[in-house]
Amino acid sequence: MIPGYRRAFNAAFGDDGHRRLLGSLAAAASVPIEFPVSETPCFLPQSLLDDLEAASQAMIAQLLGDAGYLRAADANVPDRFRMPNGEKQPTFLQVDFGLVDVGGRIEGRLVELQAFPSLYGFQPALGETYRSVWGPNDVSVYPSGLDADGYHAVVERAILGGHNPANVVLMEVDPDRQKTRPDFVTTEKRWGVRAIDVRSVINEGRWLFYMRDGRKTIIHRVYNRLIPDDVQRLGLELPFDYRDDLEVEWTGSPEWFFRISKFSLPHLRHPWVPKTTFLSEPGTDFVQADPGWLLKPLFSYAGGGIVFAPTEADIAAIPANQRHLYVLQERVSFTPVIDTPHGATQVEIRMMFVRDGDAYRFVLPLLRMGRGRMMGVDHNKGLRWVGASAGLIAAAPAG
């Protein structure tokens, strides 16, 4: 994206370097990396991130500052996930953009946004490894105003909340089998927070415990990485009830998974938000003959359940009483802005935010590269120079 850096990287690239990158990542995480990692980082001008941050902040403020929206969003929270001591405001927010070229200017177009944690442990490790293997030295992994120490301090406050790390757990289901395990391990290495299987929690009255190195240890705070969709889809039997008045703090509490989600898209008013409507709204029949639309379930994760160019049969398959749980979104053709030896490639940028005091702080970009219909693995099988990537940020573009 920054021509000078891109030309230099492409000219210097070799498969041996990529093998070193993957080996260094596996060593940093102490576990295999089981998802595709792109051969290249993306060289990002700080000015682009400034524009994306400004758009993100406007959208966040619009949603969280609208009492009517929050009432409507709260109605989506299933009873089993209503918590007496959940978060009043979400701690973690992710805003995903695809990029488009508008008259020679790169702009973002919203893909979706989510009030749920992302790869706060692994992503900086990925960026630092790209930089250590490939250089250059005059770029940063972190956006303007942050360095590694500042990043880790902000995220530490969000995860630990001032507690001893031994009394904070990263809660998942089968964490050792998740593809995101490298993030769990790097989180423990950096902040001392251990990933546990939710089913191993010990519930004694109003208190929760877990076994840490053979000792029963009280849990004061949960860094929640358990996706509510998984709880329902897998029919998990939990050792506690979210509705119980437990003596436990939550960060990334599941209620906000429903309040800030694809449900938010039709409510947003911003030039970078593609046209979106609920499937339950009248007058949506026109999309059945128009390939320029996407059908999305509101509360799926990682692109699950998206239908491209939905047909009459696709629409008819959804019962009328469930259509409010889907949106139709105008499909935007993102511009392939990354020049690679395998062809121009699209990139999706996740703007990772953390609530710090009374404001949301942009702490890191997370990038995914692809040439398929979507950025996910299933849509990019057999392709090179695609997959997880990181931004190396330059203050000013190099020609």
Domain residue limits, the chain: 3-274+332-394
Q: How confident is the model at residue 314 (pLDDT cuts 50, 70, 90)?
A: confident
Neighbours of 6 (CB within 10 A): 18
- Kindly tell me if the per-residue pLDDT of 110 is higher than 90: yes
pLDDT confidence of residue 373: 66
Task: Give the model's pLDDT for residue 374.
Answer: 59
Amino acid found at 35: F
Mean pLDDT over the full length of the chain: 92
User: Which of 119, 230, 122 is closest to 173 using CA atoms?
Assistant: 230
pLDDT grade, residue 377 (50/70/90)? low
Region of poorest pLDDT, from 116-120, 355-359, 376-380: 376-380
**Tell me, what's the pLDDT at 308?**
85
pLDDT in tens, 222-234: 999 999 988 988 8
Which residue is listed with tokens 């609208």? 66
Secondary structure (H, E, C), 65-105: CCHHHHHHHHCCCCHHHCCCCCCCCCCEEEEEEEEEEECCE
**pLDDT tier, 387 (very low <50, low <70, confident <90, very high otherwise):** very high
Per-residue pLDDT at 68: 96
**Rounded mean pLDDT, 124-138:** 94
Q: Specify the pTM.
A: 0.93
DSSP 11-69: HH--HHHHHHHHHHHHHHHTS---S-B-S--EEEEHHHHHHHHHHHHHHHHHHHT-HHH
Ranges of beta strands (E only) in the chain are: 42-45, 92-102, 105-114, 168-172, 194-197, 202-204, 207-212, 215-218, 221-224, 249-251, 276-278, 293-297, 307-308, 326-330, 346-356, 359-370, 387-394
Q: How much is the pLDDT for 281?
A: 87
